[in-house]
């Protein structure tokens, strides 16, 4: 069950997506047995972004993930730096104002040092830096743990660099159609108020399901698609319904609006959850159609793309699920 916490203030959320576009037509041209109609019927995705050169994907289908890492146009550090710059700008802060950097996601580029340390260095931040990785639920896990910590510095930068197309097998239509690359960043604080604040969090795991979604070291992404879809629908709906009563009570008092953003993996799953929770279309924010599955950066990047639309009195619910199996939810309010 969600539990109230001392508010964790969110001063900004930002995103970065690389410029190379993998359209459904591009995937058709790979001759892997897929089509625009087939993709839209199953996952509702039209296009996604990638750090990989398109000619490289055509020529190799990314058969060797180590070659994919070498071919990538951007590193996790560079996409993290770019998202971090925008997060600092939106928060009106300088690198020297950040007292801690937290990073993490599905596919770190190296075992050590932490990507948080490397991203901090790229931003000119000299502060404590650690990784908190929980696959696609990493952003929820990061904010859940930060909300429970004491003695944090005034401002913490949370970066989620997700460039998972580097480990996608583009000869496998079941997984090639899913992934896009994107990075999110957020500036949070326990002490310095901001209009957007996290007021409830959850973090849960079912380790018995660890084998359903995997990325082996030097291997391709793989999943048990049907099992993962059932898990995603049931878990996302349960988390959303647990937080909706408090969110509805809040907006009834304030006259604000409810906004829901889930894990951006499959439009059909998200729409099913929103319908079962009796959310109006305007209450469901998503970007999976144009961005694909950007892992742990998906839900926060949705908020970033709608950052200017948040209004006083609004309530925001994020629900994220991922490998592990893990899931997390966040309820936010706009003062």
Give the pLDDT confidence score for residue 1 in this predicted structure: 47
Are 156 and 132 in contact, with CB atoms under 8 Å apart? no
Give the pLDDT confidence score for residue 263 in this predicted structure: 97
Site of tokens 């070498």: 70
Helix H or strand E segment including 288 = helix 288-291
**124/99 Cα distance (integer angstroms):** 12
The set of residues, in sequence order, having a beta carbon less than 8 Å from that of 182 and lying 6+ positions away, is: 15, 16, 17, 49, 162, 291, 294, 295, 297, 298, 301
Buried-state track 163-186, b at ≥16 Cβ within 10 A, e below 16: bbbbbbbbbbbebbbbbbbbbbbb
The set of residues, in sequence order, having a beta carbon less than 8 Å from that of 213 and lying 6+ positions away, is: 135, 222, 223, 224, 228, 322, 323, 324, 325
Residue closest to 90 by CA, chosen among 194, 199, 198? 194
Strand pairing report for 47-50 and 20-23: antiparallel
Residue 186: beta bridge partners? 13, 158
Give the pLDDT confidence score for residue 6 in this predicted structure: 84
**How confident is the chain (335 residues) per 10-residue block, as mean pLDDT?**
73 98 97 95 97 98 96 98 98 98 95 96 98 96 96 97 97 95 98 97 95 92 87 94 97 98 96 96 98 98 97 98 96 97
Give the pLDDT confidence score for residue 4 in this predicted structure: 55
Angle (deg, nearest 10), helices 298-305 and 138-148: 80
Give the pLDDT confidence score for residue 5 in this predicted structure: 65
């Amino acid at each position: 069950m969600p539990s109230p916490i001392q508010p964790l203030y969110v001063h900004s959320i930002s995103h970065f997506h690389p410029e190379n576009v993998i359209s459904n037509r591009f995937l058709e041209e790979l001759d892997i047995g897929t089509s625009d109609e087939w993709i839209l019927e199953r996952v509702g995705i039209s296009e996604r972004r990638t750090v990989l050169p398109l000619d490289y994907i055509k020529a190799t289908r990314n058969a060797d993930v180590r070659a994919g890492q070498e071919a990538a146009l951007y590193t996790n550090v560079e996409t993290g730096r770019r998202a971090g710059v925008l997060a600092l700008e939106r928060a009106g802060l300088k690198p020297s104002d950040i007292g801690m950097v937290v990073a993490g996601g599905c596919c770190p580029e190296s075992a050590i040092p932490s990507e948080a340390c490397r991203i901090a260095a790229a931003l000119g931040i000299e502060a404590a830096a650690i990784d908190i990785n929980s696959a696609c639920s990493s952003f929820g896990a990061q904010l859940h743990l930060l909300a429970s910590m004491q003695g944090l510095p005034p401002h913490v930068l949370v970066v989620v660099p997700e460039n998972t197309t580097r480990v996608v097998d583009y000869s496998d239509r079941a997984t090639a159609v899913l992934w896009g690359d994107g990075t999110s960043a957020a500036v949070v604080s326990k002490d310095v108020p901001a209009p957007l604040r996290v007021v409830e969090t959850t973090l849960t795991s079912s380790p018995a399901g660890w084998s359903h979604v995997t990325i082996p070291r030097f291997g391709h992404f793989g999943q048990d698609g049907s099992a993962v879809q059932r898990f995603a629908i049931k878990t996302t709906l349960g988390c959303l319904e647990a937080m909706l009563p408090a969110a509805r009570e809040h907006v009834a008092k304030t006259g604000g609006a409810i906004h829901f953003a889930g894990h951006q993996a499959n439009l059909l799953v998200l729409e099913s959850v929103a319908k079962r929770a009796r959310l109006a279309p305007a209450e469901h924010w998503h970007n999976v159609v144009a961005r694909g599955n950007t892992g742990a950066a998906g839900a926060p990047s949705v908020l970033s793309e709608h950052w200017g639309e948040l209004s006083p009195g609004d309530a925001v619910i994020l629900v994220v699920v991922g490998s592990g199996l893990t899931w997390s939810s966040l309820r936010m309010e706009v003062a």
